[in-house]
Structure 1
Amino acid sequence: MVKALRAVFMVVLPSIFVVFAVVVWPWDLEAPWKRFAMFNPGGYSFLDNGDTRGNCTERQNIVFIKTHKVGGTTLATILYRYGYQRDLSFVINRRKDWNGHLRTLSIDKENPGKTLLPPRDREKRRRFKYNICNIHALYDRPVMDSVMENDTFFVILLRDPVSQFESAFDFFHMDQEIKPLKGKSDPLAFFFTNPNFFMAQASKVRRRDLRNNQFYHLRLSWRFYEDDNFIKTTIKRLDAELDLVMILEYFDESLILLKKKMCWTYLDILYVKKNQRIKKTKVTNEVAEEIRKWNKADTMLYDHFKRKLFSEIEQYGPSFYDDLNRFREMQRSVTRQCVNSRKVVSNNGKTFEYGSRRRDDDICQVLTRDTQTWFQKIWQSQLGLPIRPRWI
């Protein structure tokens, strides 16, 4: 009898321990990164949040206003990884199980469940409150405040209007969308011989991408595209409402500011570039000037917040560039160990990403994972399907 009980005990106890370790015991996010120390000449900690005095508290609620062709996929992927590993809830269009975007679709404040996939947590489901929004959605502060948790951080990523416009013009095939541009040797330059005429030839959806698209996502109506005073007033309001405006041309610098404001670690902001274009059009100085004039509202928006970024860097203090160099050393370390030089082409040959150099390594798989795979994991997770461990 004693032997039989002992045998049962020896079989059942390990099983209970395994279940407890996988389901109950919190997943250690630090452990997998410790082995990167050997590739880190500075000996920096990936888990350093810069809080030497113990007076900063990690913030987990964030809205990223994602506009077109500004490098937003890379930032969205950072947020997918961050939220997934912490079981956070994402704002997702319940009718779009391939990307979750809302785009121009509005959320019903009284009944958000008509549009949004329910949050993960039971209490959040009752209140329809979310932690992260990183999909394409027009900025609507009252509505976003109604579905986001309290103390949500609002951020947007802007790009130089010249490179943003060139990227959108190429990515959305405007030379095919606008019939009079077909067959032109330089359709971008030809567009500016009569921009109002050519924009009128595009579909309604694509017209939004042909002028001041970044400000469009912040709800600036086309009626005010030439109204300098209204544009300045709107920029002043946004300056007060937005917690951080990141600049693509200073992406690493922007991430260091985000890290500090959110009390995050270097691990939280590590990235591998996503959705990079294969082909780019060379823009002459003359065409660049035409793009800036045509996108005057975007230019004013970008110039204002670029100046503010430099001001915030100055306010950060003398440690800013030490932190920036530390982060870039970590980036180089992880890239050397994880990123394959072979390009993985997607979007019908328009874009590429880099795959993992080490398919047997969880860390490398996580960092190089494409946005679509992240979204599918989060979609399934938010539907309540068990996926463990959270790290991978």
Structure 2
Amino acid sequence: MMSRKGFYRGLVAATVLLVLCATLKNVWPPRTPGTRFDNKPKTVSVPTTTWPYRLVGNGNQDDIQINQDNSTYLNDNAKASLAKDIEGETHVSWFDMCSRKDDNDVAKIQQKVKHIMFLKVHKAGSTTMEYLFFRFGIHYNLTLVLPKNGFYVLMRDDLSDILPIRQDAHYDMLASHTIYNSTKISRVLPEDTIKIGIIREPFDRMVSAAYYYRDIRKMPYLSAVPKDNFISNLIRNHSVYDTNEFSQTKNSMAMDFGFPKGLTENMSYAISAYISKLSSEFELILIMERFEESLILMKRLLKWDTSDILHIATNRNKHIQVTPDTEDLAKFKSMCFLDYAIYNHFWRIFESKIASEGKSFKEEVEYFKTVLDSVNAFCRNVKEGDNFKVDGSQWNCPFTLTSRDCKAMEMDLDVISLPILRERHIKIQGL
């Protein structure tokens, strides 16, 4: 019979053997830095351009490999750095990723949606959004659908009004002015493209447009309206001054969303049918009056980071505040029945989306507003060479802004503009 002393010695030996086996399992076979536990290479999309953004820290742009399909991978040097970062040995600051705890987190930057169609709606904050998408496209080396001349794209059936691309390339994003046409869009953008639009309360949008297109763009039909009681005159005498079915002050949002001509206020079935079509094709409609909430909804939908949705509001045309009386408002709602149908429908959808996001949504919106205030304060007083660091949080990775980033957000024409974007496109595509 085994003695008690012998029994304990055997137990200790067995325990040591089990620990040794477990240790060998974790270190054998030896792993090559930058490989998964299943020996598949780690890959991560990163910015492949330093303008207007930059690779920070010790990053080396030569470590980035670009495939023919525009996908971006890290070479062995970058993979090794990434592997060390995952093990907690170093911090790869040059692509501004958050600290990762497991393999799944490495894919965060890969998961960002990059195939996007944004529908610009006149005088609804859409220029701010357009340049937000332009900055994102530059940051991630995306191919933008750009007009050859002017500001509009996809207005010709043969698509000859957009800058072409190489045969082996594809477009990634559209954010320029267009009249929504799902057929044309499907001809230029990938099948998995997410469509986003924006709307604004119709009366407020009309007032902003009326003053802007009268005072800045000098549109003849608006210049003809008496300046005294300008908005009231425009509404009460729209059959005299605003005679077109669609204009910048009459069902303008419906025009941008591609509504067919010939609809009347009593054609509720046809109007509802087209709005239902839009609902099925657009993943998200932003609302200008609730801009920060809209951006957080978009951020979550696109799997973007806080740094991707920073902005400085621009293109604001100051004018007197107008409050319509009951009669003018009723006439305007009848005049712009399509815009109100759009707005009311997508407002309800917007509310339901927010309700489904839960308590953390409101917290993230408040956090985002705080970040925006800090960023705007920095950019108002920024000097060349200044940096502004934003710490990481549960909603974003840490990031750093420079004076050039401020210029890009302010739409400085020396930093970002359609001519610069066209030049970039022609160079990348080798045209």
Q: What is the alpha-carbon distance in structure 1 between the residues aligned to residue 138 and residue 309 of structure 2?
A: 14
SS at 1:293's partner residue? Answer: helix
SS at 1:246's partner residue? Answer: strand
Q: What is the alpha-carbon distance in structure 1 between the residues aligned to residue 207 and residue 417 of structure 2?
A: 28
Instruction: List aligned pairs for 1:47-86, cutoff 5 A.
Output: 54=105, 57-86=111-140
Instruction: List aligned pairs for 1:137-286, cutoff 5 A.
Output: 137-173=178-214, 177-178=220-221, 181-200=224-243, 207-226=246-265, 227-286=267-326
Q: What is the alpha-carbon distance in structure 1 between the residues aligned to residue 333 and residue 361 of structure 2?
A: 31
SS at 1:326's partner residue? Answer: helix
Alignment-derived partner of residue 156 in structure 2: 106
**AA aligned opposite 1:89:** T
1:118–1:128: 8 Å Cα contact kept in structure 2?
Answer: no
Deviation at 1:211, TM superposition (A): 1.5
Mark the CA change 1:211 to 1:85 in structure 2 (over 3 Å): closer, same or farther: same
1:158–1:214: 8 Å Cα contact kept in structure 2?
Answer: yes
Higher helix share: 1
Instruction: List aligned pairs for 1:1-80, cutoff 5 A.
Output: 24-26=62-64, 54=105, 57-80=111-134
Deviation at 1:335, TM superposition (A): 1.1
**AA aligned opposite 1:374:** S
**Farther-moved stretch of structure 1 (309-318 vs 51-60):** 51-60
**Farther-moved stretch of structure 1 (277-286 vs 325-334):** 277-286
**AA aligned opposite 1:245:** I
Mark the CA change 1:199 to 1:321 in structure 2 (over 3 Å): closer, same or farther: same
Deviation at 1:284, TM superposition (A): 2.1
- Note the alpha carbon deviations across 1:79-126, whole angstroms, 9 max, x for none: 011001111111112133xxx423x72242xxx4x322124xxxxx21
**AA aligned opposite 2:323:** V
SS at 1:171's partner residue? Answer: helix
Deviation at 1:66, TM superposition (A): 0.8
Aligned CA-pair RMSD: 3.0
Q: What is the alpha-carbon distance in structure 2 between the residues aligned to residue 377 and residue 220 of structure 1?
A: 33
Q: What is the alpha-carbon distance in structure 1 between the residues aligned to residue 59 and residue 314 of structure 2?
A: 34
Mark the CA change 1:380 to 1:24 in structure 2 (over 3 Å): closer, same or farther: farther
Mark the CA change 1:180 to 1:148 in structure 2 (over 3 Å): closer, same or farther: closer
User: Which structure has the greater CA radius of gyration?
Assistant: 2
Deviation at 1:255, TM superposition (A): 0.6
Q: What is the alpha-carbon distance in structure 1 between the residues aligned to residue 262 and residue 427 of structure 2?
A: 45
Alignment-derived partner of residue 36 in structure 2: none
1:245–1:309: 8 Å Cα contact kept in structure 2?
Answer: yes
Deviation at 1:265, TM superposition (A): 0.2
**Farther-moved stretch of structure 1 (263-272 vs 232-241):** 232-241
Q: Which runs of 5 or more structure 2 residues have no equivalent in the other structure? A: 1-57, 66-95, 386-402
Q: What is the alpha-carbon distance in structure 1 between the residues aligned to residue 298 and residue 199 of structure 2?
A: 14
SS at 1:68's partner residue? Answer: coil
SS at 1:223's partner residue? Answer: coil
Mark the CA change 1:336 to 1:86 in structure 2 (over 3 Å): closer, same or farther: same
**AA aligned opposite 2:310:** L
Please state if 1:321 is matched with 2:362: yes
Mark the CA change 1:334 to 1:156 in structure 2 (over 3 Å): closer, same or farther: same
**AA aligned opposite 1:129:** H
Deviation at 1:135, TM superposition (A): 0.8
Higher relative contact order (CA 8 A, sep 6+): 1
Alignment-derived partner of residue 164 in structure 2: 118
Q: Among 363, 378, 384, which residue is 2:421 paired with?
A: 378
- Note the alpha carbon deviations across 1:49-81, whole angstroms, 9 max, x for none: 9x9975862110111111211110010111011
1:176–1:182: 8 Å Cα contact kept in structure 2?
Answer: no
Alignment-derived partner of residue 368 in structure 1: 410
TM-score normalised by the chain length of structure 2: 0.66
Mark the CA change 1:368 to 1:259 in structure 2 (over 3 Å): closer, same or farther: same
Q: What is the alpha-carbon distance in structure 2 between the residues aligned to residue 101 and residue 271 of structure 1?
A: 23
Deviation at 1:149, TM superposition (A): 2.1
- Note the alpha carbon deviations across 1:350-373, whole angstroms, 9 max, x for none: xxxxxxx32433333333234783
Equivalences, count: 315
Q: What is the alpha-carbon distance in structure 1 between the residues aligned to residue 134 and residue 253 of structure 2?
A: 22
Deviation at 1:317, TM superposition (A): 1.9
TM-score normalised by the chain length of structure 1: 0.73
Please identify runs of 4+ aligned residues in structure 1 that moved more than 6 A: 46-49
Q: What is the alpha-carbon distance in structure 2 between the residues aligned to residue 127 and residue 218 of structure 1?
A: 31
Mark the CA change 1:177 to 1:368 in structure 2 (over 3 Å): closer, same or farther: same
1:274–1:370: 8 Å Cα contact kept in structure 2?
Answer: no
1:47–1:265: 8 Å Cα contact kept in structure 2?
Answer: no
Mark the CA change 1:385 to 1:144 in structure 2 (over 3 Å): closer, same or farther: closer
Instruction: List aligned pairs for 1:303-342, cutoff 5 A.
Output: 303-340=344-381
**AA aligned opposite 1:117:** L
- Note the alpha carbon deviations across 1:257-296, whole angstroms, 9 max, x for none: 1111110000000110010112244232333333222111
**AA aligned opposite 1:358:** K
Mark the CA change 1:264 to 1:337 in structure 2 (over 3 Å): closer, same or farther: same
Q: What is the alpha-carbon distance in structure 1 between the residues aligned to residue 60 and residue 203 of structure 2?
A: 50
SS at 2:195's partner residue? Answer: strand
Q: What is the alpha-carbon distance in structure 2 between the residues aligned to residue 24 and residue 156 of structure 1?
A: 37
Q: What is the alpha-carbon distance in structure 2 between the residues aligned to residue 180 and residue 62 of structure 1?
A: 37
Deviation at 1:127, TM superposition (A): 5.5
